[in-house]
Structure 1
Amino acid sequence: MNYTLPSHLSDLPIYKKAMDIIMLSRNISTYLTQDLSYLNSDGTEDGNIYFTGDIIQQSTNLAPEIINAERERYSDKKHKHLESLDLLTFRLYNNCKRLEHSSSNGRDYLPILRGELGKFRKLQRSWMLTL
């Protein structure tokens, strides 16, 4: 991500938590992909492997939405970024739940990511009030 950050943004707890979620989801996804990349006995692939890419994509989009919401001057456009952030966290949480039902040893780490998402949501609620 090559964004020029406002000086105060890197100090925001929600931004720091988003960066933690990005790193955690990438590590978990790498671990899960190794387990889920093998073909089943009937020659089909495990459909859960696609959710590993989804959690990376959704977590990577958290930080830019925070940046965009902070930079936006008009409240209606700011609310669009906040709604997008809500949708991303909702989808990320649901994809974590889906991956917990996969046949991988890495699924044991997904509750950690969901816990971090819970903390992110709490930070998000308080941060939204400051905008």
Structure 2
Amino acid sequence: MSYLYTNSETPRQALYIKAKEIMQISRHISDYLVPDLAVLNEQGKEDKYVYFTGDIIRQSNSLIPNIVKAENEFFQEARMQYINAVGNLTDRLYRNCEKLEITNSNGREFVRILRKEIQKFRKLQRIWKLTL
């Protein structure tokens, strides 16, 4: 098993760095998939998976603000709400990646890379929760 973060990084820094990577990968995947999915099919309808590209961007962009809010929150109950929000965003992001993998696009192989990064993020997230 590879290490999740170096000794010089705290779990918070490692989680933040991984969230930033996920955000960048999501944008690149969306930029790559949208031209393939935006084309109308023979019936004149758009691909129903085109909206999932925007969802992965929105969800990945929401990770970092919720991490920061959880770390800065004084009360445990409010902190848990933000921790749960990060977990829910991660779950939805993973499910949307699964849906994008079944699209008819050449870029779906890149979605697997994002899913692997999300799995690494989940491991970091478990450690991070224990530190708060």
Global fold match (TM > 0.5): yes
Aligned residues: 123
Distance in 2 separating the partners of 1:127 and 1:93: 19
Task: Name the residue aligned to 1:62.
Answer: 63
* Residue aligning to 2:115: 114
After superposition, the CA RMSD in angstroms is 1.3
The whole-number CA distance in structure 2 between the counterparts of 1:118 and 1:20 is 13
Q: How does 1:90-109 map to 2 (within 5 A)?
A: 90-109=91-110
CA shift, 1:34, in A, is: 1.0
Which residue is 1:78 aligned to? 79
Q: C-alpha distance in 2, partners of 1:72/1:16?
A: 20
- The residue aligned with 1:126 is 127
Taking structure 2 as the reference length, what is the TM-score of the superposition?
A: 0.91
Q: Deviations over 1:47-76 (max 9, x none)?
A: 000000000000000000000001001000
The amino acid across from 2:28 in the alignment is N
What is the CA-CA distance between 1:14 and the residue it aligns to? 0.1
- 1:35 alignment counterpart: 36
Identity of aligned residues (%): 49
Structure-1-length-normalised TM-score:
0.91
Distance in 1 of aligned mates of 2:109 and 2:128: 30
Partner in structure 2 of residue 16 of structure 1? 17
